[in-house]
Amino acid sequence: MTFIKGLFLFLFLGFFSKINAQNFELGKVSIEELQEKEDPIDSTAAAVILFNKAQTFFTYDVNNGFSINTEQVFRIKIYKKEGLKWANYKVSYYVGYERYNDDKVEFDDCVTYNVESGRIVRTKLTREGKFNTSINKYWKEASIAMPNVRVGSVIEYRYILKSENIVKFPVFNFQQDIPVNYSEYVTKIPGFFIYKAIKRGTFEMEFESEIARGSISFANKNNITKTKVVSFGQVNNRYMAKNIPALKEESFVDNMDNYRASICNELEQTHFPDERTKDYSLTWEGVAKNVFDYNSFGRELNKDDYLEADLKRIISEVNTQSDKLDAIFKFVQHKMNFDGDHSILTNKGVKKAYQEETGNAAEINLILIAMLNSAGIKADPVLISTRGNGVPVYPNRTGFNSVIAAAEIDGKQILMDATNKYSSIGILPLEDLNWTGRLIKEDGGSQEINLVPNKASSENVNFVGSIDDKGKIIGQARSKKTDYEALSYRERKKLLSNDAYIAKTENALGGILIENYTVKDNINLSPSVIESFDFVSNNHCEIIAGKMYINPLLFYTDTKNPFVQEKRQMPIYFGYPRQMKFNINIEIPKGYKVESLPNPIKILAKDGIASFSFNLQTEGNKIQISVLEELNLAMVTADYYDALKEFYQKMIDKQNEKIVLTKI
């Protein structure tokens, strides 16, 4: 994985250069900006950010200590109707702290500009256009809906986010889903703190840094009428970028934000006068020790008295370690209900979560780990970052947002996540398949854990059908899905009734009629899912001038290449290696014979990352078709894009060659 990590995420060490100073101020909108009909650089842009500036600075309160404040301003030009959505802006902020006051967000200077009768008209945002909503018990959202916005408008707004949690600055995105003409981010960091700046994306930005004098004013604790001022050395960093293209959606991407040009800063050290220097996240061992030191992790992991009675009952009739593992995992998975909070720390504690049968990721999987250890099965927690959270490449704890379990039996490591009702032993939820995790131990040791599967998950389709003289095809199909293909099926079907799922499948398979649908082993979460159904198809055999034309894979035929862009910027993410196998037997109608069959072929993609084999033969009045599609890696770099694009096109072209039947 190292070569891919290096592709898009690296430690920003900094380089010293200068950029021409530019003056971007709110309230300085020009007639020229308002009358412009399209972006000079990207004429297809629905909207453009004319400038986006932010600064992060510190304040101090005698009761609550240091806070970080991030002020951000935008000026945006709307060119097309599709760009009107940028008149609405949202900022999420955290309210689930145990030791800090809630974060706060305030919007200000929010104005819409239009040209009316040759003059600039300003419409200011009122209180009615500002909203605060609760996302869950940990997060809230502040949002605005700008007034009087139409095609041609320019909008400006400012907000400030204040947080007492100084461990990590908010991520600043230089790159957005629309072009950005100019973007600038300034950090003013007192000398008491050292932060590690991490850059994502490949877009180049410029950087300058200076040592300056900083000061903080705060009320004297003993006499609130007097103000105390403290001066100190301060590092001012400035990051700048111009003419940043929009980050375009691409197919097969794990998380777009992994490749968005951005900067984040995480606390690395503090050194206050008369205090020892404190390290936060210099090594993975430091991260492991730091996490275990939290009462809401290490101490919780050592509790097991609340589960003794249930554990005794669960394993009373099983003997082998593997059977115990299976019984305990299924018990926790069935008993506990995930509250949706991916967290590395417990919220209400394992005992209370167990009693209430509901908990966050840490609570559920720490319960699983404690139960396994009590049963004599060695188990440890693994910190992970879910796909939606990004990738932690350098040692840090805030990059992780969830916990899974790793058990060891006969020297073999087995990963589990009991938060998902459809996962199984060794098969993690799809959201967990994100690069690497970190197994941590109480003694401070840690180990990198590969979360990306290397074993192919498969779907095997066996198909028997017959064609009548009108071109109607009837038959039976049986599909066996294993491992992640089985999990993907369960995830797709969980919110659908049986009838709704069948209707959706009929539509996806070209309008066939499905009858007698059955599925085996879905409820018990065995490693495989077996679907069976009878079908009728009236539109997968074409009759022209007395001849029948049939696609060999019938309604399983691929018709569209998923890779259509000229160039690719991001790695291609498939999630897991997979294998698709078809064994099809078709009986041709009486009075017909095979005139021609597509030729057999085997296609290999560059470096063996994918393969496709296709064979046909006849026996009497039957045609036997065997097809094998294989993707051998979960992710490949963008360097393979052209090879994959060509591979898929050749595969689709072959699938769409026709079997031709003619009358005898």
Q: Of the candidates 222, 249, 279, which is a domain's last residue? A: 279
At residue 145's C-alpha, the angle toward residues 139 and 149, to 5°, is 155
Share of the chain above pLDDT 70, in %: 94
Each residue's pLDDT tens digit, 167-217? 889 999 999 999 999 999 999 999 999 999 989 888 999 999 999 998 887
pLDDT at 4: 37
- Tell me how far apart the alpha carbons of residues 170 and 172 are, in angstroms, rounded to a whole number: 6
- Tell me how far apart the alpha carbons of residues 166 and 58 are, in angstroms, rounded to a whole number: 9
State the average pLDDT over residues 103-124.
Answer: 96
138 with 79, same domain? Answer: yes
pLDDT at 182: 97
- Tell me how far apart the alpha carbons of residues 128 and 140 are, in angstroms, rounded to a whole number: 18
> Element (H or E) spanning 197, and its range?
strand 193-200
Q: Of the ranges 368-377, 488-497, 528-537, 599-608, which one carries the lowest mean pLDDT score? A: 488-497
- At 291, the pLDDT band (50, 70, 90 cuts) reads confident
Each residue's pLDDT tens digit, 86-113? 999 999 999 988 789 999 999 999 999 9
| Cβ within 8 Å of residue 524, ≥6 positions away | none
* Sequence letter at residue 360: N
- Tell me how far apart the alpha carbons of residues 84 and 152 are, in angstroms, rounded to a whole number: 10
Please count the CA atoms within 13 angstroms of the CA of 50 that sit on its side-chain side: 24
pLDDT at 14: 35
Each residue's pLDDT tens digit, 379-411? 999 999 999 998 876 777 778 999 999 999 999
| Cβ within 8 Å of residue 19, ≥6 positions away | 206, 208, 240, 242
- 311: domain CATH number is 3.10.620.30
Threshold 0.75, pTM exceeds: yes
pLDDT at 303: 87
State the average pLDDT over residues 330-352.
Answer: 94
- Tell me how far apart the alpha carbons of residues 414 and 405 are, in angstroms, rounded to a whole number: 8
390 with 539, same domain? Answer: no
Residues in the chain: 664
Residue 8 has pLDDT above 50, yes or no: no
- Tell me how far apart the alpha carbons of residues 596 and 589 are, in angstroms, rounded to a whole number: 15
* Residue from 84, 80, 86 nearest 45 by CA: 80
pLDDT at 224: 55
Beta-strand relationship, 358-359 and 337-338: parallel
> Element (H or E) spanning 188, and its range?
strand 180-190
Q: Of the candidates 245, 279, 313, which is a domain's last residue? A: 279
426 with 513, same domain? Answer: no
pLDDT at 517: 96
- Tell me how far apart the alpha carbons of residues 185 and 237 are, in angstroms, rounded to a whole number: 8
State the average pLDDT over residues 579-597.
Answer: 97
State the average pLDDT over residues 428-445.
Answer: 92
Beta-strand relationship, 610-619 and 572-573: unpaired
Inter-residue contact 551 to 540 (CB < 8 Å) = yes
Which two tokens mark 231?
Answer: 């001066």
Each residue's pLDDT tens digit, 215-263? 887 776 655 556 778 788 999 999 999 999 999 888 899 999 989 999 9
> Across-strand partners of 235?
189, 211
pLDDT at 344: 93
Residue 16 has pLDDT above 60, yes or no: no
Share of the chain above pLDDT 90, in %: 76
pLDDT at 189: 96
| Cβ within 8 Å of residue 359, ≥6 positions away | 336, 337, 338, 339, 346, 347, 348, 350, 353, 367
492 with 630, same domain? Answer: yes
Q: Of the candidates 408, 431, 450, which is a domain's last residue? A: 450
| Cβ within 8 Å of residue 388, ≥6 positions away | 255, 431
90 with 203, same domain? Answer: yes
436 with 470, same domain? Answer: no
* Distances, alpha carbon 580 to alpha carbons 51, 456, 610, 630, 649, in Å: 48, 10, 11, 6, 17
pLDDT at 375: 96
State the average pLDDT over residues 567-592.
Answer: 95
- Tell me how far apart the alpha carbons of residues 325 and 306 are, in angstroms, rounded to a whole number: 19
- Tell me how far apart the alpha carbons of residues 210 and 238 are, in angstroms, rounded to a whole number: 9
Looking at every residue in the chain, the average pLDDT score rounds to 91
| Cβ within 8 Å of residue 223, ≥6 positions away | none
271 with 335, same domain? Answer: no
If one compares 160 and 397, the residue with the highest pLDDT of the two is: 160
479: containing domain: 457-663
State the average pLDDT over residues 568-578.
Answer: 94
When divided into structural domains, the chain yields a total of 3
Beta-strand relationship, 180-190 and 227-244: antiparallel
> Across-strand partners of 480?
460, 530
* Residue from 398, 453, 418 nearest 196 by CA: 398
State the average pLDDT over residues 53-69.
Answer: 94
pLDDT at 523: 57
- At 22, the pLDDT band (50, 70, 90 cuts) reads very low
Residue 537 has pLDDT above 50, yes or no: yes
Which two tokens mark 441?
Answer: 């131990």
> Across-strand partners of 206?
240
Q: Any idea what DSSP says for residue 597? A: -
- Tell me how far apart the alpha carbons of residues 17 and 331 are, in angstroms, rounded to a whole number: 59
Asked whether the CA dihedral 410, 363, 448, 440 is positive or negative, the reply is negative
- Tell me how far apart the alpha carbons of residues 534 and 478 are, in angstroms, rounded to a whole number: 9
pLDDT at 11: 33
Put the strands of the sheet holding 473-482 in their side by side order.
513-520, 528-537, 473-482, 457-467, 578-587, 622-631, 610-619, 601-604
Asked whether the CA dihedral 302, 303, 308, 312 is positive or negative, the reply is negative
Q: What string of DSSP letters covers 377-444?
A: -EEEEEEE--GGG----SS-STT--EEEEEEEETTEEEEE-TT-TT-BTTB--GGG-SSEEEEE-TTS
- At 569, the pLDDT band (50, 70, 90 cuts) reads confident
259 with 320, same domain? Answer: no
Each residue's pLDDT tens digit, 620-638? 999 999 999 999 999 999 9
- 126: domain CATH number is 2.60.40.3140
633 with 608, same domain? Answer: yes
State the average pLDDT over residues 349-357.
Answer: 96
242 with 213, same domain? Answer: yes
Each residue's pLDDT tens digit, 443-465? 888 899 999 999 999 999 999 99
Pick from 263-277, 285-299, 454-468 the range whose average pLDDT is largest: 454-468
235 with 152, same domain? Answer: yes
* Residue from 512, 518, 519 nearest 474 by CA: 512
275 with 350, same domain? Answer: no
Residue 306 has pLDDT above 80, yes or no: yes
Give the E-state strand segments of 135-252 in sequence order.
139-145, 154-163, 172-173, 180-190, 193-200, 206-219, 227-244
